[in-house]
Amino acid sequence: MNLLIIGAPGAGKGTMSEMILDKYHLIHVSTGDMLRAAVKNGTPVGLKAQEYMNRGELVPDEVIHDIIVERLSQDDIEAGFLFDGYPRTLNQAIDLDAILKELGKKIDGVINLNIEDAELIKRITGRRLCPGCGEIYNIYFMPPKVEGKCDKCDAELIQRKDDNLESLEVRLSEYHKNTQPVIEYYEKTGVVRHIDAKQAIEKVFADIDAVLEGLCK
Ligand code: AMP
């Protein structure tokens, strides 16, 4: 099963991806994670992407094309994959179709996490991450037991560079301008399922799970 998860920043793509992977054992392909790793390691891709990411803007499609082709050339992908944060532009979606066609693959389902912009501000500006184990917290809704420390591994929590109000506004406008057409593109093939992402985490996952159970049949 090959899936996409789409949603505005803060809609819960990361959390839902983890829960989907846990149950369905797919390969997680997050362009955001791949780009952050490239920036951290100072690779040529990282150097090209860094400035765009800090400003909250989308990284150029050519850069994304290269990292996707490279990732899809690895064997583990045969298990089925979950694309998270990709495709983010109509060009990327059209490009992905061509890449998958070459590989004899297709997208079986698109999970669209729906949520209003107003909800996302606290989610994003309050988000804190554990660099050690990847656990995600929110200082407003899901604070760690000890301020600034991970409950699981005691590491010092960090905030993503682009999780501030200024970048968020750019990211949301990029999302509406560029990613909304991606949803419309996939609507034409009948694979999109809309999920209410404002609900409690367990309920959001239950709704996604029901969709995926249906796809597996
Ligand atoms: P994310 O972790 O998915 O929120 O992505 C963080 C940032 O990485 C975005 O704000 C963009 O700057 C960049 N990025 C991630 N995925 C893509 C993509 N598919 N196309 C363009 N830029 C991306």
Is residue 55 part of the annotated active site? The answer reads: no
The residue to mutate among 5, 30, 88, having the most atoms of ligand 1 within 8 angstroms of its beta carbon, is 88
Pick from 189, 176, 17: nearest CA to 94? 189
Is residue 71 part of the annotated active site? The answer reads: no
State the pTM of this model. Answer: 0.86
Residue 39 beta carbon below 6 angstroms from any ligand 1 atom: no
CA distance 130 to 150: 6
Is residue 160 part of the annotated active site? The answer reads: yes
Q: Please report the pLDDT score of residue 56 as a whole number.
A: 86
**Average pLDDT for consecutive 10-residue bins of the chain (217 residues)?**
95 93 94 94 95 92 95 93 96 97 95 93 92 92 95 96 91 92 95 96 97 90
CA distance 163 to 159: 7
Residue 46 beta carbon below 6 angstroms from any ligand 1 atom: no
Q: All domains of the chain, ordered by start, with CATH? A: 2-115+169-216 (3.40.50.300)
Q: Please report the pLDDT score of residue 70 as a whole number.
A: 93
Is residue 149 part of the annotated active site? The answer reads: no
Q: Confirm if 114 and 61 have CB atoms less than 8 A apart.
A: no
CA distance 128 to 85: 19
Give the tokens for residue 36. 């952050």
